[in-house]
Amino acid sequence: GGDHTITYPILQALAAKHGPVGLVHVDAHTDTGDTALGEKIYHGSPFRRCVEEGLLDCGRVVQIGIRGSSYDPDPHKYCREQRFRVVPVEECWMKSLEPLMREVRAQMGDKPMYISFDIDGLDPAYAPGTGTPEIAGLTPAQALEIIRGCKGLNIVGCDLVEVSPMYDVSGNTALLGANLLFEMLCVLPGVKTL
């Protein structure tokens, strides 16, 4: 739960301890906007604010599942300029993400990294309980491949955001969110699993 703004102060604290961190960011949106209604801090801007404060190791930022409407003819330009790797959802459709995650693991290396998972990265058929749903998203199986693909990395924190149960009478979004958080806890360093 919570909107994606919560990642910004978390990354401030982690960067104060570890220096700039890598990021695996699963989302329908890049969340690198500048302002909304005159405000610089909102759920669509946390990663721009993080870049401005030097909280991210930009060459180790991967954004997976990006799609949806945009107000800009080149919506990923800012991300490319920062050296983020943007993986549009079209590159994920109908395939296993294990090969992608092998590349991501190599990119992250052994330095500190963070996982930020917006539930709207998944298709609204699976997770309708969110404020900014976008069609043609990732599947739950792909979400597991991403999270499990981070096992063994130097994960210093993680979050799952944008779950809004009131938008899903079935409760499936909350169930999926809780399970993805459990999976993230299972890949933290030092956690022993069967």
**pLDDT per residue as tens digits for the range 171-184:** 999 999 999 999 99
CA separation for the pair 57, 50 (Å, rounded): 10
Mean pLDDT of the chain: 96
Angstrom distances, CA of residue 119 to CA of 41, 68, 125? 20, 14, 12
Q: How far apart are the first and last CA of the chain?
A: 28
Question: Would you state the pLDDT for residue 68?
Answer: 85
CA separation for the pair 84, 6 (Å, rounded): 20
User: Would you say residue 60 has pLDDT above 70?
Assistant: yes
Q: What is the pTM of this model?
A: 0.97
Q: Kindly report the number of other CB atoms within 10 A of residue 49's CB atom.
A: 21
User: Would you say residue 1 has pLDDT above 70?
Assistant: no
Sequence ranges of the domains in the chain: 4-187
Question: Would you state the pLDDT for residue 38?
Answer: 94
User: Would you say residue 90 has pLDDT above 80?
Assistant: yes
Task: Look at residues 40, 38, 30 and name the one whose alpha carbon lies nearest to residue 72.
Answer: 30
Which tokens belong to 96? 């296993």
Average pLDDT score over residue span 69-98? 95
70 falls in which pLDDT band (50, 70, 90)?
confident
The dotted CATH code for 4-187 is: 3.40.800.10
